[in-house]
Each structure stands twice: as structure tokens, then as C-alpha cells.
Homo-oligomer: A and B are copies of this chain.
């Protein structure tokens, strides 16, 4: 966890304090936030630029001051989610560490990215390859999964993980559990903190639900 990468939310948080110049209205980060929320609620395709403009109380044209296209909004949000996950992996793979520790870092980093960038990751996980941008995002996810699966395979060879489950299957089950957080985890509506969740997920993945 060396360099927490920039996110949409972080950019908004940084920009908000310093007084803005020019005509008052939305800045890029604010528009992004609302757009991603709408994409998640209604689906990307089903969300028209008109409805986004209406939600913001803007004209359609005004949106094109902030973005060059509807797809660019999608692209930025997906980049944010994928970039966060990839940074977690890079971080875990760099430096001297036992394989098992690298895997712990990946799992915990992934949960932190999920919880801190819920809207962007939600969008990413719902993408189904309907356009070139979506297919590129799916491909990046595939590569990410493969790299984690390699880590799992190595941990199995080193005797750290059980070997009676294929690395690809173990990786998918693991991320199935992690990714499902987007379906129910709402930091605002629960007393479960992100760090408690990080601990719960790590324990269940490594040691399971059985009492010991």
C-alpha cells in the first residue's frame, strides 16, 4: 500500500476546497460522479445524455464542455476502477515478500478499492462488452485475473494454499466473493467499517467459516 492512486472521488475532494474561478456550476468531477451514479442505476446504454443533462439541470450541450463524448465518461470511470486494482497488484508484486503475503495484499487492496470506489467498480463489474471500450475493460480484467491466478498457483506450489482446487477456480471463487461486495456494501448505511470488512473477507477466504 505505497501510493494510493488518484480516483474520481479523490479529485473531487481536492478540488472542492480551493475556491473555483469562473461561472459557477458543475466541474468535471461532479458531473462524473452523477453520471456514474445514473449509469449504475439505469444502465449505461439506457442512460441518455438528455436524462443525464436533466438530472444535472443542464442542457445537453453544456455536458460537452466537460466531456468529449458519453463514452469518455464511461472510459474514465472504468480506468479509475481498473487502475486502482492494477495498482494493488503491482504493489503486491513489488518488493521482497513471501507469496502468501503478496496474496493477502492483493485481497485486502482489492477490498479497499471496492469500498472506496464503489460506483466506478460497480460500473466495471456490470460491463458486458457491448462496445470497444467495454471489451477493452473486460480484457484488462481478464489479464488482472490471470496474474492473480498465477500468484495463487505459486502459493499452491509453495504449500501455502490447498492444492485440491485449480488456481483458476480458486481465483474466481475468491474474487466472486470480493466483487459481490458491490451488491450490498454501503458504508453509509451500516456500522461495518471498510477495515472490518477487509478483515472479515481475508479470514473467510483463507480459513473459511468453520469454527476452529
Q: Which residues of A in the span 165-201 have a Cβ within 8 Å of any Cβ on B?
A: 165-166, 169-170, 172-181, 183-184, 192, 197, 200-201
What is the bound-complex CA distance between A162 and B152, given in angstroms?
25
A204 smallest CB distance to B (angstroms): 5
A13 smallest CB distance to B (angstroms): 27
Contacts of A200 in B (CB 8 A): 165, 169-170, 173
A119 smallest CB distance to B (angstroms): 15
Residue of B nearest to A184 (CB): B172
A203 lies within 8 A of chain B by Cβ:
yes
Contacts of A173 in B (CB 8 A): 177, 180, 200-201, 204
Q: Which residues of A in the span 120-165 have a Cβ within 8 Å of any Cβ on B?
A: 152, 156, 159-165
Given contacts A43-B46, A207-B210, 11 further A-B contacts (CB under 8 A): A45-B46, A46-B46, A152-B209, A160-B210, A161-B209, A162-B203, A164-B203, A166-B192, A170-B200, A170-B204, A208-B208
